[in-house]
Amino acid sequence: MRTDLGVKPYKIQLVQELKPNDLPQRRIFSEWALEKLAENPLFYRQILFSDEAHFWLNGYVNKQNCRIWSEEQPEAVQELPMHPEKCTVWCGLYAGGIIGPYFFKDAVGRNVTVNGDRHRSMLTNFLLPKMEELNLVDM
């Protein structure tokens, strides 16, 4: 294909879908943030960014992010269970450091996925007390 047709293989890039109302909302937020920075040049220190990530506990490696460099094609095969155990981890980042990690688990300590109730529980029982402990009252 490369030689005969001059084409190359490409991976599809997945991005979050933007809805019609997203652009005006982004603009409103941007203008609000600029006003806050004009009022207080250190406003950025009052922002907490956060995210969650999933980690597979069976050694699974995302083959899209893994390359084996070799002179010959390796005949590597990895058998995986149909539904491998994984854990979801939350972490927050602010100007003064990192808050977390927080591992989402049920009452008996098993790894669970995130839903609205579990996220709210993490905010109430982990993040807010940690922010009080760190004296982050203006966040």
The amino acid occupying position 74 is P
Q: If you search the block for the tokens 């109730």, which residue do you land on?
A: 117
Which residue intervals of the chain are DSSP H helices?
Answer: 2-5, 22-39, 116-122, 128-133
Tell me the pLDDT tens digit for each residue of 3-55. Answer: 888 888 777 777 888 899 999 999 999 999 999 999 999 998 899 999 988 88
pLDDT at 66: 63
Token pair for 11? 């991976």
Using CA atoms, how far apart are residues 103 and 86, in angstroms rounded to an integer? Answer: 11
pTM: 0.65
pLDDT at 61: 63
More confident residue, 51 or 86: 51
More confident residue, 21 or 82: 21
Q: With contact defined as beta carbons under 8 Å apart, do 99 and 92 qualify?
A: yes
Tell me the pLDDT tens digit for each residue of 94-132. Answer: 999 999 999 999 888 888 888 999 999 999 999 999 999
Q: Which residues contact 52 (CB under 8 A, 6 or more apart)?
A: 88, 89, 90, 104, 114
Q: With contact defined as beta carbons under 8 Å apart, do 101 and 90 qualify?
A: yes
